[in-house]
Amino acid sequence: MNSQEETNFGRVASAIHYINTNFKTQPGLDEIAEKVNLSPFHFQRLFTDWAGVSPKKFLQYLTIAHAKKMLKDSQATLFDTAFESGLSGTGRLHDLFINIEGMTPGEYKNGGEQLHINYSFADTLFGRALIASTSKGICYIALNEDENAEFGSLKAKFPRAQYQQETDTFQQEVLQLFVQHWSQPQQLKLHLKGTDFQLKVWESLLKIPLGRLSTYGSIAGSIGLPSASRAVGTAVGANPVAFLIPCHRVIQSTGIFGQYRWGSIRKQAMIGWEAAQLENNH
């Protein structure tokens, strides 16, 4: 690391410390930039290049982390949570949760209490699958031979939802895609819980054609954040819908397939199977 990089790192580290210490006052860009002796323009560019997200987004993540802890660990009301998180009211708390978590603070607090989820287990080309859906669409697909462990993971995402082991129309449509040509995944309805950033990444994954591969850097560029490859990798790894959202089509820029949430061997099998399907249809 040269002297300039050390200086930049020191400024970013100081900014992160300041944000972390003062997030309850919701400091603005000008205030944080002044603390590290940079203009707002240069600080915004430096911080975003280094951290992969803007100072404002970083502040939002810290704020919502604090709010989630209050909602989960105490009997705090939404008003108290908003106040203690440095937000002006429950309206801002609501908007922040929708933007970051993809759900309202009330839905987060009750753990999906009003949600009814159908789920079933099925054998697929790539092993045993757990498929779950709400009245709006598919919310979860996982590939795991350990049914109890995977069902536990689903319940951890929606701890207070009502569950029923039942194969509905949404799940039947998914199973048909495992035996038919994989060409129109976007026709299926999805009900996903994710941040705006995650949803953008997952939407970008859906645009990778059958039999083709992309890289984390390419995905980052496609959503307008070319320096956010690491954050893209995290979002890809958080994909809750195996195969349907084809995160297996993303590899490292060096050509190495890399890790996969449901096993690297399974990822290689998926890539090989799709390449064969493409070849057979030519």
What is each CA distance from 2 to 7, 9, 11, in whole angstroms?
Answer: 9, 11, 14
CA proximity to 251, closest of 203, 182, 205:
205
Query: Is 64 in contact with 109 (CB distance < 8 Å)?
Result: no
To the query of whether residue 139 is one of the catalytic residues in this protein, the response is: no
The backbone region for 137, taken as left when phi is positive above 0, alpha when psi lies in -120 to 50, beta otherwise, is left
What are the CB-based long-range contacts (under 8 Å, 24+) for 5-12? 8/46, 8/50, 9/50, 11/36, 11/37, 11/38, 11/43, 11/46, 12/46, 12/47, 12/50, 12/51
Return the CATH fold of 116-168: Double Stranded RNA Binding Domain (3.30.160)
Return the CATH fold of 3-110: Arc Repressor Mutant, subunit A (1.10.10)
Tens digit of pLDDT at every position of the chain (282 positions): 445 555 677 788 888 888 878 877 888 899 999 988 899 999 888 888 877 778 888 887 777 777 767 666 566 666 666 666 666 566 665 565 656 555 566 666 655 557 889 999 998 888 899 999 988 888 899 998 899 999 999 998 888 888 999 999 989 888 887 666 455 554 678 887 777 788 888 888 888 887 788 999 999 998 888 888 888 998 999 999 998 889 999 988 887 888 888 888 888 888 888 777 765 665
Handedness of CA 149, 154, 159, 163 (dihedral sign): negative
Which is catalytic among the residues 93, 208, 247, 270?
247
The predicted structure's pLDDT at residue 109? 60
Rounded Cα distance, 226 and 60, in Å? 21
Q: What is the CATH number of domain 194-280?
A: 1.10.10.10
Comma-separated ranges of CATH 3.30.160.70 domains in the chain? 116-168
Query: Is 161 in contact with 119 (CB distance < 8 Å)?
Result: no
Strand 116-124 relative to strand 214-215, pairing: unpaired
Rounded Cα distance, 192 and 189, in Å? 10
193 membership: H or E segment, kind and range: none
The predicted structure's pLDDT at residue 133? 92
The predicted structure's pLDDT at residue 219? 93
CB atoms within 10 A of CB 150: 21
Whole-model pTM?
Answer: 0.61
What is each CA distance from 32 to 41, 92, 136, 227, in whole angstroms?
Answer: 12, 21, 42, 22
The predicted structure's pLDDT at residue 15? 86
Comma-separated ranges of CATH 1.10.10.10 domains in the chain? 194-280
Q: Can you point out the beta strands (E) in the chain?
A: 116-124, 127-133, 138-143, 162-165, 214-215, 250-251
Comma-separated ranges of CATH 1.10.10.60 domains in the chain? 3-110
282 three-state secondary structure: coil
